[in-house]
């Protein structure tokens, strides 16, 4: 009888143990799944908030760029745009914004005969018009420099081909990490050049550095190719 009781006990208890273990396993899976879902939802919320802040920072620069381009195109269409006026409009745009710098690149002979302006201020050896203004370490606007060819395949070639604005990846300009935003100048259906601003990445890096998921995490801002363009870890975004 005792052997039978033991067998009955085993038959009764073993399934209960198995069921108990299964319940613990399923509970752990459900808890982990719930925690992961909450974590995903939380990080999505943090990312969305950060996106709004960063977009606001970029939009402040884009508004300046759009205003500059509209003024240039409008005056050109009216037949009253001169190189001097374009230079003054560009300088005012840089002075009144938080941009590191800004430039204009007009196609050859858009504003008269380039040959008449060979090596003049804001012109190259062919007389083509390339004004660029930037802020030095004191915040003063530096002039009498030319828009360099660095990154030209992005800030000039792409907007010219696409007929729309382009924001490039960060690069170094006079020791400062900047990101170029460029817009094509289209007057009466004709491409006449581009206007661009260089956005100082310091402010965006600072915004990204303040993102601390669960108070201990960190964030990176990446472009559509997965390249890190802003982070609190400077070594991750060094540009040679």
DSSP 13-66: HHHHHHHHHHHHHHHHHHHHHHHHHHHHHHHHHHHHHHHHHHHHHHHHHHHHHH
The radius of gyration of the chain from alpha carbons, rounded to an integer in Å, stands at 30
CA distance 110 to 104: 12
pLDDT band for position 33 (cuts 50, 70, 90): low
| pLDDT of 6 higher than 50 | no
Residue 9's pLDDT band (cuts 50, 70, 90): very low
d(CA 203, CA 230): 10
pLDDT in tens, 196-224: 999 888 877 777 777 777 677 777 777 77
Confidence tier at 147 by pLDDT (50, 70, 90) = low
Checking if the pLDDT of 34 tops 70, the result is: no
pLDDT band of residue 11 (cuts 50, 70, 90) is very low
């Amino acid at each position: 009888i005792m052997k039978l009781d033991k067998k009955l006990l085993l038959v009764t208890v073993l399934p209960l143990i198995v069921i108990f273990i299964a319940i613990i396993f399923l509970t752990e899976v459900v808890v982990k799944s719930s925690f992961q879902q909450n974590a995903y939802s939380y990080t999505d919320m943090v990312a969305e908030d950060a996106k709004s802040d960063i977009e606001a920072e970029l939009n402040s620069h884009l508004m300046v760029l759009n205003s500059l381009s509209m003024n240039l195109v409008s005056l050109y269409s009216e037949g009253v745009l001169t190189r001097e006026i374009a230079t003054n409009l560009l300088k005012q745009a840089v002075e009144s914004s938080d941009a590191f710098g800004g430039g204009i690149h007009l196609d050859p002979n858009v504003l008269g005969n380039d040959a008449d302006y060979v090596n003049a201020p804001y012109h190259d050896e062919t007389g083509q018009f390339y004004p660029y203004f930037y802020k030095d370490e004191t915040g003063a606007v530096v002039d009498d420099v030319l828009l360099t060819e660095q990154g030209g395949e992005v800030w000039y070639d792409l907007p010219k081909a696409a007929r729309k604005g382009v924001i490039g990846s960060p690069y170094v300009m006079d020791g400062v990490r900047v990101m170029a935003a460029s817009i094509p100048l289209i007057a009466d259906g004709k491409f006449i050049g581009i206007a661009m601003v260089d956005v100082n990445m310091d402010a965006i890096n600072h915004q990204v550095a303040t993102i601390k998921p669960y108070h201990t995490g960190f964030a990176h801002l990446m472009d559509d190719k997965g390249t890190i363009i802003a982070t609190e870890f400077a070594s991750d975004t060094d540009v040679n």
